[in-house]
Structure 1
Amino acid sequence: MDDRTLNDLLRRFGLSDKEVDTYLSLLAHGEAKASTVADAAGVSKRYVYSVSESLAERGFVEVNDHVVPTTIRANPPDEVINRLRSDVDAIRPGLEERFSRVERQTEQFEVIKSRVTVIKRIRSLLADADSEVTLSIAAGHLPEIRDSLVEAVDRGVLVLLIVSGADEVPDDIDEGLDGVASVVRTWREAMPTLLTVDSAAGVVAPPELLRRSNTDRQAIHFSQEQLAPVIVGSFLGNYWPAANEIATAAPAPLPVEYANFRHTVLQVTLRLRVGEIPRVTVGGRWTDRDEPAEISGRVVESKQGMVEPTTNEFPVQHSLVVETDDGKTVTVGGQGAFVEDIEADLVRIEEDDGDHEEADAGESDEADGADGV
């Protein structure tokens, strides 16, 4: 191998031109004083000391400063090569992980140019929904995805739906909304088609793309957990309050458990609205000390903006106020909660047994009184 090729290969491992010259001089001498290496490499003795420390850290040489004058010895090539090979093997997992992350990143966004593909992506995402769907869609396109929405609701998915479209929203639209969503609102103004599924994926499409076939507007299909919550926040904070509530599903039979906290809040709210006081068992963590939390008690209030009358203090607030069995009042929020006392992972909703126990006791007292007569 000629000197130029060897120099080029060594530079690929991060050695500068002077470091290459110093290292090759050491290889030629085996072990030498700094002054000898300096003369051979054409650098100062001080520079040789500095470069030798750098080369020693990377395993190319060994500095013997226990003798006077200090000597520098080139390590055997096999030893250096094994060290380099070990370093390459060590960085392989990190490089591969970052490369695959970039590959996933490129797959997280898809540009959609046709109405047919938008509807197809919406159906596919709805079929994969596990816990929550937020969707705004024009009334004229609702029939194309109606079955997918009904199936999601039947699976226990929370579905918040806005039916929009200027003058396209008919007065009798509520007749075709049976089972399509947990809560339905309408808005006569045109708005984008916004879909999020499980706060992880979704579709954003301008109104023109679904309305006209000759538009140059495009939609985006995304799969990114950082973006989806932003879309959900915009949906609940900007569009949902402006729409009119026209349909709400009946409460689910109890007992029931939800990992999705907004669904929990909705179900509790629906029961509070008809005078029921449900009981909950909450598992999660205390937000002030990051320790596991588990409480049981009666829900005395909900803070929410999903159904009228809304009770939240800001658009994305969804929380419960629970009177625990030991008489304390605790606030419970969902994932990422920091204002509330508990960040909930799972909530079980049940009927309040206390009411039944009091009723049983009353019936027993009446029976005892009748026997006494």
Structure 2
Amino acid sequence: MLDDYVNRLMRMMGLSKYQLKAYLTLVERGPLTAVSLAKYANIPSSKVYSVLKGMVKLGLVDVDSSKRPEVFMAKPPKEVFSMVVSRINEVVERAKPMINTLQMVYEASNQRVVKASSETLFTVKGLQSTKNLVRIVIMGGARDISIAIPYEQLLDEEVLSMITEASGAAEVKLLVTRGLIDHAKALPPRVNLRVRDSMFGAGFIGNGVLLAIQYGADYLSLYSTQEYIIEIARTYFETLWRESEPVNR
């Protein structure tokens, strides 16, 4: 029973079969040379050194290089357990942004099922994650769509295709900076187009609101489906729209 538990625990660390056998053997028999370990753990002699090298790198085994031949010894199981817990916590922390993003996408795509959003605002990093949310915002069936884009990466072929499709069933207003006029002119004439000299960031308002800011080579975006936030964003957009220059096509 104990062996089964230890085996499961060690596999959580991604250990190979030979690494698992090596560690348990060193725990049971104490310090051993590589040759002795290969014998007792039934590990091929051609593989035992690479197995031990990997375990030293993982912090599971210590090596006494002052002896000839070298002697290997297992780290204390309590120390290894603490290491496992620490690594699991690291995995959980790294997974949190992904889970939050998935929850956000779920809530945006299942508004009839989800009775209340878990948060007012979601934060998303990355260009592709931002474009995935652009699709949700402007392809969600809203009748009025307002878009402000100062970044070329957010007006590429993928986003242009989304805007074109959305404009077939909704009134779309697109506000761009002067450097993006040629990109925007590729859209159908039914897309209302205006231009201004500068904008603080990008915005997409439709079935929710998405605000995106470029910093360096990456993007930081805020997304919400809260009605009052959508209205605030729409009011601000309309102010920018009135102050901007129509584009003749």
More helix by percentage? 2
Compared CA separation, residues 230 and 194, structure 1 to 2 (3 A): farther
Q: Deviations over 1:195-248 (max 9, x none)?
A: 244459xxxxxxxxxxxxxxxxxxxxxxxxxx9975543355x5789xxxxxxx
Partner of 1:81: 81
Partner of 1:195: 143
Partner of 2:55: 55
- Indicate yes or no: 2:165 matched with 1:234: yes
TM-score, structure 1 normalization = 0.36
- Percent identical residues: 21
What SS does structure 2 have at the residue aligned with 1:7? helix
Report matched runs for 1:198-347 at 5 Å: 198-199=146-147, 231-236=162-167, 262=175, 313-315=185-187, 318-319=194-195, 332=197
Compared CA separation, residues 24 and 110, structure 1 to 2 (3 A): closer
Which amino acid in the other structure matches residue 165 of structure 2? S
Compared CA separation, residues 194 and 95, structure 1 to 2 (3 A): closer
Larger relative contact order (Cα-Cα within 8 Å, sequence gap ≥ 6) = 2
Aligned partners of 1:94 and 1:196: how far apart in 2? Answer: 37
Aligned partners of 1:37 and 1:229: how far apart in 2? Answer: 63
Aligned partners of 2:170 and 2:32: how far apart in 1? Answer: 78
* Structure 1: unaligned runs, 5 residues or longer: 113-192, 201-226, 242-259, 266-283, 288-302, 305-311, 321-331, 337-344, 351-373
What SS does structure 2 have at the residue aligned with 1:43? coil
What SS does structure 1 have at the residue aligned with 2:143? strand
Kindly name which structure, 1 or 2, has the bigger radius of gyration based on alpha carbons. 1
Compared CA separation, residues 64 and 197, structure 1 to 2 (3 A): farther
More strand by percentage? 1
Which amino acid in the other structure matches residue 27 of structure 2? L
Structure 1 residue 88, shift from structure 2 partner:
1.7
Is contact 2:146-2:174 (8 Å) kept? Answer: no
List structure 1 segments (4+ residues) > 4 angstroms apart after TM superposition. 196-200, 227-231, 238-241, 333-336, 345-350
* Structure 2: unaligned runs, 5 residues or longer: 113-140, 149-157, 203-236, 245-249
Is contact 1:318-1:333 (8 Å) kept? Answer: no
What SS does structure 2 have at the residue aligned with 1:108? helix
Task: State how many pairs are aligned.
Answer: 164
Compared CA separation, residues 111 and 5, structure 1 to 2 (3 A): closer
Structure 1 residue 27, shift from structure 2 partner:
0.9
Which amino acid in the other structure matches residue 94 of structure 1? R
TM-score, structure 2 normalization = 0.50
Compared CA separation, residues 53 and 73, structure 1 to 2 (3 A): same
Query: CA RMSD, aligned part only?
Result: 4.3
Partner of 1:146: none
Compared CA separation, residues 46 and 70, structure 1 to 2 (3 A): farther
Q: Deviations over 1:91-118 (max 9, x none)?
A: 2222232222222222221487xxxxxx
What SS does structure 2 have at the residue aligned with 1:100? helix
Is contact 1:199-1:228 (8 Å) kept? Answer: no
Structure 1 residue 25, shift from structure 2 partner:
0.9
Aligned partners of 1:29 and 1:240: how far apart in 2? Answer: 74
